């Protein structure tokens, strides 16, 4: 059957893979609860009837505030089936952003996961004039549950009305509004059509080497367009999607599920890598020597080919070391798709060496999201790039170095903001990404920085801070960095160390300290971080090198407003918060 609307994925899945195909799974009381495609469809239809009974009209806005769980999908599909617009909201944003989105989107109904999320925002609901009711997934005393809604409307089954609503929905109709987690200002409501999403889904679905017996593990928020498209892709391919209980349970969830596919951000891969290296540092004698020999071998991996001698060494390394890495990730991982930030080339190499393929993709919420992504075909992988343009997408580099794009995945526009829409989509239909990059001879896209992040030193030299930051983060000692130096004589940096790695290092070296503040103040630690920075400085031009730095005693977090929900640095927020330390760097 032809898939023109997102909810067509349900019927397609059932026809192609059978009504007993397991599609979704979530944790309930520490046990996995699975749903077949038939159960999924039945629940979605029940919710659709309930929404019709409530009087939901085409283009009404319905919001979800929830972590990943099967119910998120039930609401998503049901809302779109009746012609309404799904507004998924991150469960981790600020109160002011919640209020802005709910008012700006003119939301009519809200579905909230449970008490902890409800407590954060319940007091602002009376200030939202368009909201008619709030429903929860979990039983509470304050609001009706989704189950209670279904019970109260179970006698309403106007199949003719539902079918008429579904039939009236066109592929270019607005399906969802996703509010971008901008690093400055209020979020913008990105309007995405059924075709925007599906053009991405159908193209990306050609990449994984899986079948309907394969399993996907999902931990990135479904409210983010990246994980959402992977979610739709998995349903298109007939995979069983298991939703991780939380980021803290990801290792146990991988052991339980034994996934074949997973979407990720580089930070999780960095943490997995760092934990494995940490265990390696605790080894002794021959075991430690073998571990780091294998690790160094992995860093030299080349996708294009490695030669007979290297492959023989890799077989030994695999048996002694890398096979254990795969076991940590469930033992059957066939593909990790990394996005949201730049992936270190050395990280990609070592995962490939360990037979855990990691491909990098690139895109924005406004492009549904994928513009470029690696694949297993000719010229599909080049470490340090985000792969070639996605099928159906055209990329080019503007005169000022900005990456611009055309394709069926480019958004309809920003909700109630024609001015900002025209700022990013020009008169010829090109979407301006705001990222600087270039296209390699073989067609892969290389992103070198964010246009707005570039700054000029007092000597007139332009610096891309992200380029330097990503290089510094290759160090096991450095978790994050912010490069600064606009109108200054040189580049400096705020360094957030990897505290777990640093603490292990201090234990081995016998350095004593009472807390993180004392830890980063140790002269030996300052010298060790300086040594790391100097190592990476050698790969940079003189004007790009970090000449001075300060080490911070805490990580940047979402809760403190220093990161966006997609874990990007809020550069201006961090600069303002640490302006006294930045001033010290340049004093």
Q: Residue 289 is part of a domain; what is its CATH number?
A: 3.40.50.12780
Q: For position 183, what pLDDT does the model report?
A: 53
Q: Is the pLDDT of residue 5 over 90?
A: yes
> What are the pLDDT digits (tens) for 115-160?
888 988 888 989 999 999 999 999 888 899 999 999 999 999 999 9
Same domain? For 486 and 344 the reply is: no
Q: Residue 517 is part of a domain; what is its CATH number?
A: 3.30.300.30
- Quote the CA–CA distance of 128 and 106 in Å, as a whole number: 8
Percent of the chain at pLDDT exceeding 90: 83
Residues 191 and 412 sit within 8 Å (Cβ to Cβ): yes
Q: For position 182, what pLDDT does the model report?
A: 58
> What are the pLDDT digits (tens) for 58-108?
999 999 999 999 999 999 999 999 999 999 999 988 888 899 999 999 999
Q: For position 2, what pLDDT does the model report?
A: 93
Closest to 200 (Cα-Cα) out of 222, 224, 225: 225
- For residue 235, tell me if it sits in a domain: no
- Quote the CA–CA distance of 391 and 96 in Å, as a whole number: 39
> What are the pLDDT digits (tens) for 466-488?
989 989 998 989 999 999 999 99
Average pLDDT of the residues of the chain: 94
- Quote the CA–CA distance of 494 and 517 in Å, as a whole number: 15
Q: pTM for this structure?
A: 0.90
* Domain-terminating residue out of 397, 418, 449: 449
* Domain-terminating residue out of 127, 142, 169: 169
Same domain? For 73 and 137 the reply is: yes
Q: Is the pLDDT of residue 395 over 70?
A: yes
- Quote the CA–CA distance of 478 and 59 in Å, as a whole number: 47
- Degrees (nearest 5) of the Cα angle 247, 254, 318? 120
Q: For position 580, what pLDDT does the model report?
A: 96
In sequence order, which residues have a C-beta less than 8 Å from that of residue 323 and are 6 or more positions away? none
Which tokens is 525 given?
A: 């630690």
Q: For position 246, what pLDDT does the model report?
A: 85
- For residue 208, tell me if it sits in a domain: no
Q: Residue 64 is part of a domain; what is its CATH number?
A: 3.40.50.980
- For residue 248, tell me if it sits in a domain: no
Region 337-344: what's the mean pLDDT?
91
> What are the pLDDT digits (tens) for 496-515?
999 988 998 999 899 999 99
Q: For position 240, what pLDDT does the model report?
A: 98
Among 204-208, 270-274, 330-334, whose mean pLDDT is lowest? 270-274
Region 533-545: what's the mean pLDDT?
94
Torsion region of 572: left, alpha or beta (phi above 0 gives left; psi -120 to 50 gives alpha): alpha
Which residue's structure tokens are 């002269």? 523
> What are the pLDDT digits (tens) for 292-325?
999 999 999 999 999 999 999 999 999 999 999 9
- CB neighbour class for 202 (10 Å; exposed up to 12, middle 13-18, buried from 19): middle
- For residue 176, tell me if it sits in a domain: no
Same domain? For 165 and 144 the reply is: yes
Same domain? For 439 and 479 the reply is: no
- Quote the CA–CA distance of 188 and 398 in Å, as a whole number: 24
Which tokens is 180 given?
A: 């971008």
Same domain? For 414 and 490 the reply is: no
The whole domain housing 463 covers 454-586
- For residue 242, tell me if it sits in a domain: no
Residues 494 and 524 sit within 8 Å (Cβ to Cβ): no
* Domain-terminating residue out of 423, 449, 475: 449
Same domain? For 274 and 422 the reply is: yes
Count of domains forming the chain: 3
Q: For position 514, what pLDDT does the model report?
A: 94
How crowded is residue 125: how many other Cβ atoms within 10 Å of its Cβ?
17
* Confidence band of 492 (pLDDT split at 50, 70, 90): very high
SS3 per residue for 2-63 = CCCCCCHHHHHHHHHHCCCCEEEEEEECCEEEEEEHHHHHHHHHHHHHHHHHHCCCCCCEEE
- For residue 250, tell me if it sits in a domain: no
Residues 1 and 12 sit within 8 Å (Cβ to Cβ): yes
Percent of the chain at pLDDT exceeding 70: 99
Same domain? For 14 and 162 the reply is: yes
Same domain? For 427 and 543 the reply is: no
- For residue 249, tell me if it sits in a domain: no
In sequence order, which residues have a C-beta less than 8 Å from that of residue 510 and are 6 or more positions away? none
How crowded is residue 541: how many other Cβ atoms within 10 Å of its Cβ?
9
Q: For position 248, what pLDDT does the model report?
A: 83
Q: For position 95, what pLDDT does the model report?
A: 87
Strands 215-218 and 240-243, bridge-based pairing: parallel
Among 126-130, 172-176, 178-182, whose mean pLDDT is lowest? 178-182
Closest to 4 (Cα-Cα) out of 203, 206, 194, 202: 194
Strands 478-484 and 491-497, bridge-based pairing: antiparallel
Same domain? For 55 and 23 the reply is: yes
- Degrees (nearest 5) of the Cα angle 428, 433, 438? 100
Same domain? For 295 and 272 the reply is: yes
The alpha carbon of residue 471 and the mean position of all alpha carbons in its chain are separated, in whole angstroms, by 20
Q: Is the pLDDT of residue 565 over 80?
A: no
The alpha carbon of residue 214 and the mean position of all alpha carbons in its chain are separated, in whole angstroms, by 21
Q: Residue 403's beta-bridge partner residues?
A: 397
Same domain? For 296 and 330 the reply is: yes
Closest to 376 (Cα-Cα) out of 205, 207, 200, 203: 207
Q: How many CA atoms lie within 13 A of 574 on its CB side?
A: 23
- For residue 229, tell me if it sits in a domain: no
Region 545-562: what's the mean pLDDT?
93
Region 223-236: what's the mean pLDDT?
97
Q: Which long-range contacts (CB under 8 A, 24 or more apart) does 347-352 make?
A: 347/266, 347/269, 347/270, 347/273, 347/474, 348/383, 349/298, 349/299, 349/300, 349/301, 349/302, 349/383, 350/273, 350/295, 350/298, 350/299, 350/301, 351/269, 351/273, 352/301, 352/303
Same domain? For 434 and 582 the reply is: no
């Amino acid at each position: 059957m032809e898939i023109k609307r997102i909810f067509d994925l349900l019927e397609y899945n059932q026809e192609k893979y059978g009504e007993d195909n397991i599609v979704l799974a979530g944790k309930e009381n520490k046990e996995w609860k699975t749903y077949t495609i038939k159960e999924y469809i039945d629940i979605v239809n029940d919710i659709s009837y309930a929404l019709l009974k409530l009087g939901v009209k085409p283009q009404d806005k319905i919001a979800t505030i929830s972590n990943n769980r099967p119910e998120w999908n039930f609401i998503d599909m049901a809302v779109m089936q009746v012609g309404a617009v799904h507004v998924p909201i991150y469960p981790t944003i600020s109160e002011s952003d919640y209020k802005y989105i709910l008012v700006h989107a003119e939301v009519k109904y809200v579905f909230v996961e449970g008490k902890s999320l409800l407590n954060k925002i319940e007091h602002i609901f009376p200030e939202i004039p368009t909201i008619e009711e709030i429903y929860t997934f979990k039983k509470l005393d304050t609001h009706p549950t989704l189950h209670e809604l279904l019970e109260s409307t179970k006698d309403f089954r106007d199949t003719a009305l539902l079918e008429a609503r579904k039939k009236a929905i066109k592929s270019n109709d607005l399906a969802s509004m996703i509010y971008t987690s901008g690093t400055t200002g209020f979020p913008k409501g990105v309007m995405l059509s059924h075709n925007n999403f599906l053009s991405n889904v159908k193209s990306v679905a050609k990449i994984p080497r899986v079948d309907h017996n394969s399993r996907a593990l999902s931990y990135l928020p479904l409210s983010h367009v990246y994980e959402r498209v992977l979610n739709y892709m998995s349903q298109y391919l007939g995979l069983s999607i298991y939703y991780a209980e939380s980021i803290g349970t990801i290792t146990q969830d991988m052991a339980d599920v034994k996934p074949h596919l997973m979407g990720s951000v580089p930070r999780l891969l960095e943490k997995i890598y760092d934990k494995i290296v940490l265990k390696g540092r605790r080894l002794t004698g021959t075991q430690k020597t073998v571990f780091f020999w294998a690790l160094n071998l992995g860093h030299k991996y080349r996708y294009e080919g490695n030669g007979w001698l290297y492959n023989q060494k890799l077989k030994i390394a695999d048996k002694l070391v890398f096979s254990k890495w795969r076991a940590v990730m469930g033992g059957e991982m066939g593909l990790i798709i990394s996005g949201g930030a730049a992936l270190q080339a050395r990280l990609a190499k070592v995962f490939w060496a360990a037979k855990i393929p990691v491909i990098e993709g690139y895109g924005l919420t406004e492009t549904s999201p994928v513009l470029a992504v690696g694949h297993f075909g000719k010229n599909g992988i080049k470490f340090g790039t985000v792969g070639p343009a996605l099928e159906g997408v055209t990329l080019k580099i503007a005169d000022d170095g900005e990456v611009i794009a055309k394709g069926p995945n480019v958004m309809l526009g920003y909700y109630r903001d024609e001015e900002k829409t025209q700022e990013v989509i020009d008169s010829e239909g090109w979407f301006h990404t705001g990222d600087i990059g270039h296209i390699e001879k073989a067609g892969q896209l290389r992103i070198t920085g964010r246009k707005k992040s570039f700054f000029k030193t007092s000597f007139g030299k332009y610096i891309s801070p992200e380029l330097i930051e990503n290089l510094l983060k290759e160090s096991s000692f450095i978790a994050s960095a912010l490069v600064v130096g606009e109108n200054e004589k040189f580049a400096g940096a705020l360094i957030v160390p990897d505290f777990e790695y640093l603490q292990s290092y201090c234990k081995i070296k016998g350095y004593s300290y009472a807390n993180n503040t004392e830890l980063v103040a140790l002269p030996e630690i300052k010298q060790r971080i300086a040594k790391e920075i100097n190592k990476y400085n050698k790969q940079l031009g003189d004007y790009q090198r970090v000449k001075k730095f300060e080490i911070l005693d805490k990580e940047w977090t979402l809760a403190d407003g220093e990161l966006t929900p997609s874990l990007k640095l809020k550069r201006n927020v961090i600069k303002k918060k640490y302006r006294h330390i930045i001033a010290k760097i340049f004093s």
